Amino acid sequence: MDMEQVLVVPTKIIDDLVNGTDGIFPIDLEKLRDLIEKNAFFIDREIAENDETLHQLIPYVLMRQQGKFLLLRRTKKQQERRLHGKLSLGVGGHINLGDGDAPWRAFLKGMEREMHEEVNVEVLQLSYVGLLNDTSSPVSRVHVGLVYLAEVKFLGLNEPDMFDFWFMDLKEIEQRREELEGWSKLALDFLKKLMPN
């Protein structure tokens, strides 16, 4: 069986952009795209998962319908055991070699694939938000998120046995803060600043 190849960038590039701090940073998309084009490459996922000198690039798409955000909870049937039972505000996943060989094109194609893999949505508008860095856990230290906000028409889950789902406003999500995975806490804090009401 072929090893899964994932898109990575050297950790140093991310650290230079965010000064080693955690959060979501509105880094200019053109600048980010250039850095990814010049520095990203594919490597075996098994190696990447255990190498903190590399960050796996993950599209992290926040989905909103009529002012409420999609919240997913991974069930025990979901592959990523480290995140079972946690609530997630973002949809996304790894970028694979099959998504394309040019890094930025592969990223965009992979994001499109990931958006529609887990959920059945019609994307009405998609806008880039920022770069998500989180050094709080072994999982997050080997991943970096490119956060997008999608206005969607939600048609259902493609894998209903893998996720439970809700649509909630930011106040409702805040009440479930302790159940959120790390990236979703950062996304919630960012959204609250973006949309204070």
pLDDT tens-place string over residues 49-88: 999 999 999 999 999 999 999 999 988 765 656 555 789 9
Side-chain half-sphere exposure of 95, counting CA atoms within 13 A: 31
Closest CA relative to residue 91, chosen from 39, 33, 158, 22: 158
Residue type at 168 in one-letter notation: M
pLDDT tens-place string over residues 87-109: 999 999 999 999 998 999 999 99
pLDDT tens-place string over residues 117-169: 989 999 999 999 999 999 999 989 999 999 999 999 999 999 888 889 999 99
Locate the domains of the chain by residue range: 5-194
Kindly indicate the confidence band of residue 15, based on its pLDDT and cuts at 50, 70 and 90. very high
Check pLDDT > 60 for residue 1: no
Q: Quote the tokens at residue 99.
A: 């998504």
Its CATH class, for the domain covering 5-194, is alpha beta
Residue 197 has a pLDDT of 60
Kindly indicate the confidence band of residue 3, based on its pLDDT and cuts at 50, 70 and 90. confident
Residue 2 has a pLDDT of 64
In whole angstroms, give the CA distance from residue 147 to residue 64.
13
| H-assigned helices in the chain | 11-18, 29-39, 45-48, 103-118, 170-174, 182-194
Check pLDDT > 90 for residue 113: yes
Residues whose CB is less than 8 angstroms from the CB of residue 108 and which lie 6 or more positions away in sequence, other chains included: none
